[in-house]
Chain A
Amino acid sequence: MKYLFKPLLIIFSFVALTSCSDDDEGPRLEEVESSTASNIPAPQTGGQGQGEISGEFTKFSFATGTVTTSDTEWDLAFRGTTIAINGGAATGTNDEPTRNGNGGVSIQTGTFASITSADGLTYTQDADGAYAIPAGSDNGWYNYNFMTNVVSPIPGKIFVIRTHDGKFAKVEFLSYYRDAPANITPDIANNDLRYYTFSYVYNPNEGETDLTAPE
């Protein structure tokens, strides 16, 4: 069903694109979107002495650039420091969203601007017991400093995302704290955590791998 559906979708979107094209120079591509998602809340219950970690993940869609409650049209989902992707199998944690897309992630090293294409990369999906974006400090997207009690995104880690519907985006996490403050005080570290801010570039065109931010 899945395999049948996908080519159909491609054909459909191709037709849709060409049909609204005014000129004859081929299909016009939608503009690559460059944006920053701010304060995506990622609450969790439990953990830090309050029992097992649980609670709904907050789901995010690149196509809308917003948080979504859709059970299917989502790409990344956040709970605490854990990030799920809409592709692969259940990891086995509590309350995780059902993965029904074909999302995946490829972790690259560089500045955000230096990652310009999603082509030729190997994409990992969530799997039983393992997130595609590995959990834990200094392992996936963040470092936890036990001296300052601060979670900092690892600079230079760029996450190239294949969305649930096979499009591409790149993501750089900037902050885990509300309003991405420059100085994370002990007060902020204790009270304003679990708010993601990240830059992303999303190419809404099926099959297009270009991830250069528009000028």
Chain B
Amino acid sequence: MSLNKFNYWLILIALIPLGTSAQYESPSDSILTENLDEVVVTATRTLRQLSSLPLPVTLISQKQLQQTGVTRLNEILNEQTGIIMTPDATIGGGEGVQIQGIASDYVMVLIDGVPILGRSSGNLDLSRLAVGNIKQIEIVKGPSSSLFGSEALGGVINIITENPSSKQINGQISHRSATFNNQNTAVSLNQKAGKVGYSFFADRLSTDGYDLTPTETESQTVNPFYNYTFNGRVIYDMSDQLQLFASGRYFFQEFDIAPSTSEETDFNAHLRLDHNPSEKVNLQYELYYTNYTTNEKAIDPIDDTLLIENDFDQQLFRPEIRFNYAFSDTNTFTLGAGYNFENLDRSLFTNSVSFESQYVFSQYDFIPLKNLNVIVGARFDNQSEYNSQLSPKFSARYDISPTLAIKGSVGSGFKAPDFRQLYLDFTNAAGGGYSVFGKNVEQQALQRLEDNGQIANLQINNASQLGEALDAESSVGYNLGLAYKKGKLSAEINAFHNDFTNLIDTQILATKTNGQNVFGYINRESVFTQGLEVDLKYKPLTNLSINAGYQLLFAYDKNKRDAVADGEVFARDNTTLQTIALSSSDYFGLENRSRHTLNARVFYDIPEWGTNANIRVTYRSRFGLTDRNGNDLLDEFDDSFVEGYALVNLAFGKTFFEHYQLQLGANNILDFQGQNPLASQDNELLINPGAQFFARLNIQF
């Protein structure tokens, strides 16, 4: 393929308003071939052909979502190479996505390019996101703060929802029933009539939940819940040059834990105006507002007294302007700027807190030499509450031959200190009276305790550190890989190294007269993750696709690794109570990381019968959950390892009478349940609730 030709194509695409991008959504696209039409926006914030990018990008198509029968984002991510959904170490917690060994806290999740709020202890619950109206999911691995700012260290997951394209009213209604009385109903409607297009999507999910501790009868691991998702949008072609996009989304979830209550809402409103005053110029004006709330009340079932009330109300408002200029067929210049207004009102804070930040980013995507594509970009984030950040990124791809390309990138990522790390002012009256203070309030808060005579002594050596601004957590990510594509086979191999510094940890600031401690936050930890990803796609027949992926991963805390190497770290064998000096090979590395993960997927289509079938296998090798012998790191003497396991999923679909699709499937069909090492002696604690069977009927009209 000629790059020049490609770039011409690219510029053309970039300049065409979004409404016409529907031409790449032809439903007959195969997900499994490296389609020339596969285009992504997340890597560069311009439309770009997937197969020509210098960055590691994973694309999940609508067809893959449909054929696998998944309903939520977390389920499909787990089947992609180098992406794992990891359980929280404490049973009953949520799942977090891990990319290149980087935890969920450092992975940005977007819908149509705008961020989703609502993290709980850093983790974003991806099962909140219904996949029913999704066109495709794009995952860019490695840091992308040069385009997206805070949180884009491990990668960016961007959910692209579907735009209306059909002239006739086009709709679907479907219902899916699965094990655990899991009921999911979805309705969608869309039409593009002349200049106006609209779409509507509604989804309801309810379940009886499940129990990973079957021998203990008091409570369930996942309580019964129900949730609704509503999404509506309008697109309006105002003129050849102007297009308006407006979208609103609302999510509501409630857990059935009577008499206590737990509610969650997520609302967002997204307005965008695309303006193309000339062939070379594209301007986008965007307004985004989002509000995430939780409301939890723990009520004593016996006397109805309120035990704990925990409310959380986070808002973000963001105007952003983007400007793309095509100097020529082969180079595009991007400039963007925006303003974040954020607000959080939370039970654990004294006051509601707000902060503002401004940012500007720029990128130049060009072809300096034949067969060489280079993208350079940088973003500057100015913050009122912590040190400003400059995030550059450089990536390049060189086509060695028509079948083989080498690609590499170096980029930086950062994660702003969160509200908790800046503003928490919390004394745990119910937990012994310890206190935790955010960096921006620690000085005043300590003074307050001092004035009340509650401080016994300061524990930090240098009191002038108090109140010094907290730095953002930051990373530098390196990716270097080869992409091979010939005939029925395509293969990618990518080596990665992510170096994290300034990770925020807690430290003891002072001891209180009641014997408890005062904790504050400090930048001190540094970790790295490195490894290798291999992705193979083979299509021996038109209707048969075979995919396989592998990730090798090493993830360590640097200071701890050095301490182990220096012989300063010991372990205790919990049975003999003997102390052993650890050697480097005993240090397992970061929690919840598997050295090896594998996936294999086979998709088969028989179009003349309207039938498709697929089988997908994922495997992750042994991993550890937590330190259990007091040395604050995961070592071979910790009895907290989960043995490697595989999950096998399959689905079968058939179309009847043109408009009816029936799907049957099973997730974890081998009924793997596992054994959690943190179990108590007389209680069984499982890793997985076991096999889940489902059936879905979809009616198109």
| Chain B, Cβ-Cβ closest to A96 | B515
Q: Which of B455, B574, B575 has the most CB of A within 10 A?
A: B574
* Alpha-carbon distance A124/B630, docked complex (angstroms): 23
Is A148's CB under 8 angstroms from B569's CB?
A: no
- What distance in Å separates the Cβ of B334 from its nearest Cβ neighbour in chain A? 43
A142 interfacial by beta-carbon distance below 8 Å: yes
Across-interface contacts of A93 in B (CB, < 8 A): 513-515
- What distance in Å separates the Cβ of B608 from its nearest Cβ neighbour in chain A? 54
Is A136's CB under 8 angstroms from B508's CB?
A: yes
* Alpha-carbon distance A186/B680, docked complex (angstroms): 6
Is A172's CB under 8 angstroms from B579's CB?
A: yes
Which single member of B90, B629, B639 contacts A155 (CB below 8 Å)?
Answer: B629
Which single member of B570, B577, B581, B631 contacts A174 (CB below 8 Å)?
Answer: B577
Is B627's CB under 8 angstroms from A145's CB?
A: yes
Contact digits for B558-597, partner A, Cβ 8 Å, 1 yes 0 no: 0000000000111110110101110000000000000000
CB contacts under 8 Å to B, within A175-209, are 175, 180, 182-187, 197
Please classify the interface of chain A as helix (H, G, I), strand (E, B), loop, or mixed, using the class held by over half of its residues.
loop
Is A182's CB under 8 angstroms from B575's CB?
A: yes
Which single member of A82, A111, A134, A185 contacts B680 (CB below 8 Å)?
Answer: A185
Across-interface contacts of A161 in B (CB, < 8 A): none
Contact digits for A135-147, partner B, Cβ 8 Å, 1 yes 0 no: 1101100110101
A67 interfacial by beta-carbon distance below 8 Å: no
| Chain A, Cβ-Cβ closest to B455 | A129
A116 interfacial by beta-carbon distance below 8 Å: no
Given contacts A49-B429, A155-B572, A91 and B579 within 8 Å (CB-CB): no
B457 interfacial by beta-carbon distance below 8 Å: yes
Is B456's CB under 8 angstroms from A92's CB?
A: yes
Given contacts A91-B456, A152-B628, A82 and B572 within 8 Å (CB-CB): no
- What distance in Å separates the Cβ of A99 from its nearest Cβ neighbour in chain B? 16
Given contacts A49-B429, A130-B457, A185-B680, A112 and B579 within 8 Å (CB-CB): yes
| Chain A, Cβ-Cβ closest to B577 | A174
Q: Which of B89, B457, B514, B579 has the most CB of A within 10 A?
A: B579
* Alpha-carbon distance A194/B84, docked complex (angstroms): 39
A104 interfacial by beta-carbon distance below 8 Å: no
- What distance in Å separates the Cβ of B6 from its nearest Cβ neighbour in chain A? 50
Across-interface contacts of A172 in B (CB, < 8 A): 579
Which single member of A112, A135, A138 contacts B632 (CB below 8 Å)?
Answer: A138
- What distance in Å separates the Cβ of B182 from its nearest Cβ neighbour in chain A? 28
Is A111's CB under 8 angstroms from B570's CB?
A: yes
B177 interfacial by beta-carbon distance below 8 Å: no
Given contacts A49-B431, A155-B570, A185-B680, A180 and B577 within 8 Å (CB-CB): yes
* Alpha-carbon distance A172/B580, docked complex (angstroms): 13
| Chain A, Cβ-Cβ closest to B569 | A156
Across-interface contacts of A197 in B (CB, < 8 A): 577
| Chain A, Cβ-Cβ closest to B680 | A185
A47 interfacial by beta-carbon distance below 8 Å: yes
- What distance in Å separates the Cβ of A181 from its nearest Cβ neighbour in chain B? 8
Question: What number of A residues sit within 8 Å (CB to CB) of B?
Answer: 44
Is A129's CB under 8 angstroms from B639's CB?
A: no
CB contacts under 8 Å to B, within A88-137, are 91-93, 109-112, 128-130, 134-136
* Alpha-carbon distance A42/B632, docked complex (angstroms): 24
- What distance in Å separates the Cβ of A34 from its nearest Cβ neighbour in chain B? 14
Contact digits for B355-381, partner A, Cβ 8 Å, 1 yes 0 no: 000000000000000000000000000
Is A128's CB under 8 angstroms from B90's CB?
A: no
Is A156's CB under 8 angstroms from B581's CB?
A: yes
| Chain A, Cβ-Cβ closest to B679 | A185
A32 interfacial by beta-carbon distance below 8 Å: no
Across-interface contacts of A186 in B (CB, < 8 A): 680
B432 interfacial by beta-carbon distance below 8 Å: yes
* Alpha-carbon distance A147/B592, docked complex (angstroms): 13
Is B456's CB under 8 angstroms from A145's CB?
A: no
Contact digits for B129-171, partner A, Cβ 8 Å, 1 yes 0 no: 0000000000000000000000000000000000000000000
Residues of chain A at the chain B interface (Cβ within 8 Å):
47-49, 52-53, 80, 82, 91-93, 109-112, 128-130, 134-136, 138-139, 142-143, 145, 147-148, 150, 152-156, 172, 174-175, 180, 182-187, 197
What 19 additional pairs, Cβ within 8 angstroms, besides A130-B511, A153-B630? A49-B430, A52-B433, A53-B432, A53-B515, A93-B513, A93-B514, A112-B579, A135-B515, A145-B626, A147-B89, A148-B626, A148-B628, A150-B628, A152-B629, A155-B572, A155-B579, A155-B580, A182-B639, A183-B574
Residues of chain B at the chain A interface (Cβ within 8 Å):
89-90, 429-433, 455-457, 459, 508, 511, 513-517, 568-572, 574-575, 577, 579-581, 625-632, 639, 678-681, 683
15 contacts between A and B (CB under 8 A): A47-B515, A49-B432, A80-B515, A112-B579, A129-B513, A143-B630, A145-B627, A148-B628, A152-B572, A154-B631, A155-B571, A156-B570, A156-B581, A185-B680, A187-B680
Q: Which 6 A-B pairs have the closest CB atoms?
A: A156-B570, A152-B630, A129-B456, A185-B680, A129-B457, A155-B570
